[in-house]
Amino acid sequence: MATGQTVAVFGAYGHTGRFVVAELRDRGFVPLLSGRDADKLHRFAASLPGTGSRTATVDDPASLDRALAGAAAVINCAGPFAATAAPVIEAALRAGIPYVDVSAEIEANLDTFAHFADRARAAGTVVVPAMAFYGGLGDLLVTAAMGDWTAADEAHIAYGLDSWHPTAGTRAAGTISRRRRDGRRVRYSAGRLEYRDDAAPTMDWPFPDPMGKRGVIGDFTMTDVVTVPSHLAVPEVRTYMTVEAARDLADPDTPEPVAADALGRSAQTFLVDVVVRSAGAERRAVASGRDIYAVTAPLAVEAVQQLLDGRARTVGVASAGAVFDAPGFLRALSAHLSLELRH
């Protein structure tokens, strides 16, 4: 448990931000709420007696500095991260504190690695982008599956979602990403990103029980193609999505997530199946749980807890698998995830 350390949460009143704030409070941290919309921020703060709030906007660096003053770390939950990541990272570097975000935007995460690696390393601080269901969890699972392997020929990350009710933030981020890549799809092959105009393939994926074989969209590329190659020698990184979930995401009429339990989680379930192969050998890691947005909160907060406890393995910009002991990190989430490693 934390000992009353203050953690700033930018975008605290958003869908994922609320889960992050709840997780911080459960662990004994003191969340400091921040965001761009003063009315939403103050209403949320009023529902949590004793919780401080500070309005800040990404086009006002002084407001971000005030928002982070006195905080031990910051978690950025405010998308689109193409607009928010750089200004909040800049503020974290000025404050000398670790930065964690929950971005699933491929291009925004590439920007973070490209623009802040040297500065964060020189400052001796840690910047962890994509510390979320997409990007962070997949990277941890690939790293854990590889075990003592120093390289692999390929890594496959299959997302078995029974449904996907996207938040408004997810839709906005997707729109920006599509615009940045001119509507093309992207995949990671031969050690680099490829932008393609052809249709993504469909196939069956043999998920472990109880899910079993399901139709998936191949090259349904998520930000794991940024996080995994950032520290692992794997020239082929492919991600897949169940057809039902991809259909939900593509349908503009699919509603946002609705709370189905006392924790505010939706009824959505997921199974993430990771397969890594090297010289004919295969290793696997499987994680399952409920609600991709809700499970992002313990991923991000566990990262902050380990950073503040001095358990980071490196400084600079680094993905989850590079910063943390992957098997240990995943085991620490046993209340939120079921995990199986098959070496």
Neighbouring residues of 337: CB distance < 8 A, sequence distance ≥ 6:
287, 288, 289, 295, 330
**Which tens digits make up the pLDDT trace of 104-134?**
999 999 999 999 999 999 999 999 999 999 9
pLDDT at 343: 80
pLDDT band of 1, cuts 50, 70, 90 = low
- Average pLDDT score over the chain: 97
**Which tens digits make up the pLDDT trace of 193-235?**
999 999 999 999 999 999 999 999 999 999 999 999 999 999 9
Which secondary structure element, helix H or strand E, spans residue 342, and what is its range? strand 338-342
For 231, the 3-state DSSP assignment is coil
Instruction: Report whether pLDDT(2) > 70.
Output: no
Q: Which domains does the chain have, with CATH numbers?
A: 6-131+296-327 (3.40.50.720), 133-292+337-342 (3.30.360.10)
Q: What 8-state DSSP symbol labels residue 133?
A: I
Judging by DSSP bridges, how do beta strands 6-10 and 30-35 pair with one another?
parallel
**Which tens digits make up the pLDDT trace of 7-63?**
999 999 999 999 999 999 999 999 999 999 999 999 999 999 889 999 999 999 999
Pairwise CA distance, residues 82 & 65, whole Å: 20
Q: Write the single-letter amino acid at 79.
A: G
Report yes or no on whether pTM surpasses 0.85: yes
Q: What 8-state DSSP symbol labels residue 103?
A: -
Q: What 8-state DSSP symbol labels residue 134?
A: I
**Which tens digits make up the pLDDT trace of 77-91?**
999 999 999 999 999
pLDDT at 332: 97
**Which tens digits make up the pLDDT trace of 320-338?**
999 999 999 999 999 999 9
Q: Tell me the mean pLDDT in the region 163-172.
A: 96
Give the CA distances from residue 264 to residues 18, 252, 340, in Å, rounded to whole numbers and listed in that order: 9, 23, 26
- Terminal alpha carbon distance of the chain: 32
**Which tens digits make up the pLDDT trace of 245-279?**
999 999 999 999 999 999 999 999 999 999 999 99
8 A C-beta contact, residue 220 and residue 239: yes
pLDDT at 70: 97
C-alpha torsion 21→27→32→36, nearest 10: -20
Q: Tell me the mean pLDDT in the region 293-321.
A: 98
pLDDT at 50: 87
Helices (H), ranges, the chain: 15-26, 38-46, 61-68, 81-95, 106-123, 138-146, 168-180, 224-227, 243-250, 292-308, 320-323, 326-331
Q: What 8-state DSSP symbol labels residue 330?
A: H
